[in-house]
Amino acid sequence: MPATSTLLQDPAAAVAPLTIGSLLAAYRSGAVTPGKMAADLLARIDAAGRDEVWISRVPAKQLKQQAAALDLMLQIKGEAVFESMPLFGIPFAVKDNIDVADMPTTGACAEFSHVAPTSATVVQRLQAAGALLVGKTNLDQFATGLVGVRSPYGAVRNAIKPEYVSGGSSSGSAVAVALGQVLFSLGTDTAGSGRVPAAFNHLVGLKPTRGLISAHGLFPACRTLDCISIFAHDVADAWRVLQSAAGYDDADAYSRKPAMLGVKRRGYRIAVPDAPEFYGDAAARDAYERTLSQIAAMPGVTLKKIPFDAFTDAAQLLYQGPWVGERRAALGEFFTRHGADMDPVVRQITAQADNYDAVDAFNAQYRLADLRREAETLLEGSDLLLVPTTTTFPTIAEVQADPVVRNSQLGYYTNFVNLMDMAALAIPGAWRGDGLPAGVTLIGPAGSDHLLAEAGAQFQRVLGGAAQADAIAAAPLPFNEATVQVCVVGAHLSGQPLNWQLLEAGARRVAVTSTAARYRLYALAGTTPPKPGLARTADGNGAAIAVEVWEMPLRQFGGFVAAIPAPLGIGTVELADGRAVKGFICEPAGIAGAADITHHGGWAAYLASLA
């Protein structure tokens, strides 16, 4: 990246946008400094003429001072700063229903505005990771809407075609990223607010498993359903941010430690709606079909059409059922005292809470439980559900002419996800024929975040994006459960034919090392794929053998061991540093007649000698 580059190119230009990874590389090379980046960013925001994106910003002087402090830190610590701060110097924005210390939280309602004494947990975590806060962004008032026009601070215009909606409720957060004013942003997602704006602005929108990111410091829409979400330009950037943002938080009663699923490395079994709905938007249908055909052509991908009624019936419960009472509960006395000051459509939606009582709430929960069970049955045998992110793409004028119906149409593929306790990842798809962006969303059960990210990166590649799936597969979220370390020596090593078994078990590589000098290595005969056998010597006449150590969830260990064929098994292996870990060993009978390849020092070196 040349030193003269600005922060990000025009979203309509043919060149790729700057990503977190490329900016970090520029910092490492010295081509750009945080101070230079901040100056470019401020100039870009000022020149954009898009004041409706922001509700409040960090003062320019303060932002420059913070960037200068990062410059000094980089000079002092050098490369080490990137290890301790994985988001070092990365500019980001926060939706203005998330608290930032000493800044107002408005929820896009001036009468509600109050200065937050402390930052939300997620903001604290991102800043501790080195991210540089630029400001707080506009939204559909109190996060009620999927359109981005329900705000007294102005309708947020689409980043690519300003006469169209930006999507909501996280409108400003999405457009700030799409316009290159930040590299990532935080939104929230109750009914699709972190996915619809992603599709409308050609972005990735990561909606995690509920409770994976702490909601402490978030003013809720529906507290039992809310998720803080992430907007970025590609899947790797969104996943990088989630690595720093996720984590259990005692301060959030809905925070949890979900059991995380591993990735899929041998193709995907994808469920899709049997009769997708687009409300007559032919361009949206065509873009979806072209996207689906490209994904379906990938090796190992199979599609299964399923009825979609269970999902749409659940979606209707969110706004046409007692969950609107949660929105009223969140506002409390403010609604009674200041309802007249609210956006009229938001006020109308919130007032519907008066139509429901406790009996309705319980009956709706029972209905939702039935629909969840039906959905689980429909998805049996599938790795994920893939849907269009949106049904249609209205202009601002069209939404203002029919605000409730147009908004409802946009939630067709999104409203059910949090009600059914699912994770989702929206990615850009094929462009519409009218030059507007379109996207698809990958949906899976709670804990499928890593699986969806790896799959999204695979699909992103065939749709014209970067190849990032291998890096994402090798980087699961920090473990929040009991784990076990396993020493691998042959076909399970990185890049070898059985390494997928570790990745699908949710494992991560933690060390490249060697055994103690007490082992011999043999090339076993007649194994497919070829495998070595590791044996400890009784007389000390051995050598150090190159190995890798992987860490996996303990709950996956039994299934992993069960798949190991004789004569191999799992025992205890002594490493060069004296530690003893579980690892691959070979039965004595398997070594009889096998070629001793100890002198090569490891399986990879032996394979190289054959080549």
Instruction: Please give the positions annotated as active site.
Output: 95, 169, 193
Spatial separation of the C-alpha atoms in residues 21 and 183, rounded to whole Å: 10
Where do we find the tokens 């990137």? 82
Residues 490/584, Cβ–Cβ less than 8 Å: yes
468 contacts 461 by C-beta, under 8 angstroms: yes
Between helix 121-128 and helix 235-245 the angle, nearest 10°, is 110
Strand partners, 184: 92
DSSP string for 357-404: -HHHHHHHHHHHHHHHHHHHHHHTT-SEEEEES-S---BHHHHHHSHH
Q: Which residues of 127-160 are buried (b: 16+ CB within 10 A; e: fewer)?
A: bebbbbbbbbbbbbbbbbbbbbbbbebbbbbbbb
SS3 of 206, please? strand
The strand pairing partners of 229, in sequence order, are 187
Task: Output the CA–CA distances (angstroms, integers) from residue 596 to 124, 204, 229, 377, 522, in the order listed.
Answer: 55, 51, 54, 51, 4
Spatial distance between the Cα atoms of 50 and 340, rounded to a whole number of angstroms: 28
User: At which residue do the structure tokens 């943002």 appear?
Assistant: 245
Strand runs (DSSP E) across 413-567, as ranges?
422-428, 439-445, 483-488, 508-514, 519-523, 532-536, 546-553
Report d(CA 404, CA 346) in Å as an integer: 10
